[in-house]
Amino acid sequence: MKIYVDADACPVKDIAIAVAKDAGIPLFLVKSYAHFSIADEPEGVKTVYVDTGAEAADYKIIQMARSGDMIITQDYGLASLGLAKGCRVIHHTGFAYTSENIDQLLDSRYLSAMARKSGQRTKGPKAFTQEEKEIFEKLMREVVEKDSSSI
């Protein structure tokens, strides 16, 4: 298993890195050159930079990921592609994308985009909470442990 993080706006990078390090799993932070940093990477972490295009990180993650890998993203489109590839995909608020919930999430995204296009105002995301960070970490550890024990 490898872990891929859609890292440009991911608020749980540090948690994901810690969990991956504890489990000895390689983690890839995929982000645009606009977020370039010269900071040293923790052991087991590799940063992959992509162009600044809208879905460049998503395309790179899908190109790199294989069945059984984990993807961390808040992007429903990337989540859908990851699920189709056989990846475990989780959201930073601590829920797993599944074949049972992805269609509803994509429909919701589409309807919100159409509403914005017609001039309607839509709500943005709620503030990210400490409780959501804890839920995310618990889910990520469960997925890692389950996948490690099935090898």
The residue behind tokens 């706006």 is 9
Report which secondary-structure segment, H or E, holds 131: helix 130-149
Largest CA distance in the chain: 51
Positive or negative: CA dihedral 24, 6, 65, 89:
positive
Q: Report all structural domains of the chain as residue ranges with CATH numbers, in order of start.
A: 3-149 (3.40.50)
CA 116: distance to chain centroid?
A: 24
| Tens-binned pLDDT, residue by residue, of the chain (151 aa) | 999 999 988 999 999 999 999 999 999 999 988 777 777 788 899 999 999 887 899 999 999 999 999 999 988 889 999 999 999 999 999 999 998 888 787 777 666 777 777 887 767 667 889 999 999 999 999 999 987 666 4
